[in-house]
Structure 1
Amino acid sequence: MASSVEAGGAWTTAEDIALCESWVKVSHCPISGNEMKFSQMWRKIHEEFSEKSGSARTEMALSSRWKILNREFGKWRDALTKARENLRSGQNLTDEIIQAQMWFGATGQGKKSFQNHQCWELVKNCSRFKIICTTPPVVLNETPLHDSPATDSPVDSPMDQDSPLPRAPRPIGRKAAKAKKGSTSKNECAQFLEQIAKNGALRLERDLKREEADKARAEAFAIERQQAQEQDMEDREMKIMAMDTTHMSPETKSYWKMKRRDVMRRKLFHDDGPSNTDWLNYQNN
């Protein structure tokens, strides 16, 4: 009788972790990560997953499970971003997680709380799940709710001692009331337009920061990939030059001799230019 895993039963935490580790390793390989086709990528992920977990899940099962995890990770990333942008002064990481859980559950889609924290630690540094805050954090308002009076307290004021009952303010006239109302409307309109301008500037600044962050990630990835390719080429050339041909057949020796000649030609052209090929031609003769 087949086990629950073989029959497509519920996924365990260990299987989810193995799937995330395999996905990160294969899809973010600096040498071949961007050059693989979709089917080839999932074939390699399935090989890594089977080796790590010993599970009998199929490629299709892994791909379907990853779609679910991918949506959940994206939802959690957005929740953490909102929580971090709205974190108030004096609050800590616990407050951030609590706010993120509230944002996560408020979307009304799927689970009410995020639980896959172990898997999140594995994928959070990947480009699609990185948190990029594009707005300044909201802090507590340091302006007091009420202005403090500039004069002394009522107890120390001689005018208040002579006049215990406050005098009622004189009502303003109709013209003055209309003028005040018109001035207030103009001020509110000006403030509204000013706020629209500020929001547009903040939005533009946020977009520029996002573009700069994306460009920086792409450049860093390109450099890392180039370095990995150069190191891989260097390792292969070292193996070729160190190959022991003592006990090989004449045909095999001839093959490795040609390989070494190619390595030397690349080295000479790269280091000193074509002028050094005279030595290579002399060796061939």
Structure 2
Amino acid sequence: MPNPRQECWKDAEDIALCIAVVTVGEDGSKGTSQEKKRLWERIHEVYETCKPAGGVVRLGGGCDGRWKKIRPACARWRQALNKAALLRGSGDNATDEELQAKSIYRTLAKGEEFTFQHCWPILKDTKKFSNPPGINVGSSSFPTSINLEDDGSSSSSNVHARPPGQKAQKAAKKKSRQDETGELLLQMQRIADQEERDLEYRLRLREETRLAEQHADDARTMTVDPSIFTPKKRSYWERKQAQIIEREEQSSSAGAFRQPSFSPEENTPHSEDDSNLDLYVPVQETQWMGRN
């Protein structure tokens, strides 16, 4: 099996590497300055998730070595673009400016062409390459403690604000989680309160329905004339009516049951007063209610 470090890098692999470097290098929650070994372990992990399907297996050292070629080349290209922008004439267009930048790049790179145009869209707006870097392009070595935001320029020439540091981003994430947790708890409490109100409403509706059905059933019972039945059935209906009258009297005295359509005090006949029986509208007898 050929050594994976000797395989030529394809454009898609370069793009995946640049994505990994930008992702890890600008992750402030992990610190803006990280030890080289752990940094490239993380870059390699991200690269493995970004690399094209069927791509060559690359070791962490291979990614490091490839970045040492991409970084100075893109730094020179940024210098060439900025110089070309300064030299642009009033009649020049974007194509003229790009040709001027390529010429300047060849001068900076001692005759070499810029071969990482496929990487430039990913890197051009990052902190390292958005300003004239002013780095020593001949040096590709990394210090033991590496900061991917450091392009070699002095701090006075870096007009871009540094991204939030590790502590600031962790604090922001913690606060965001706390806010989300508080909002979630508030929503859960609202849902619980609504469910409790819904349950109370259903129970109240069920009780009102039961009482209404009982009221209607009692009203039908009170319309029955026990005298038309045999002694046994007459005794049954008289007992039923007596129970309804007693229940209505108890409810009326307690004030627990008052229905506008049925007033126990006005419409329920008492045992000693049968005059109110005329107020009940008889219903047709069912088969089992007929005479024997």
Structure possessing the higher relative contact order (Cα contacts under 8 Å, 6 or more residues apart): 2
Structure of larger gyration radius:
2
Q: What TM-score results when the alignment is normalised by the length of structure 2?
A: 0.48
TM (normalized to structure 1)?
0.49
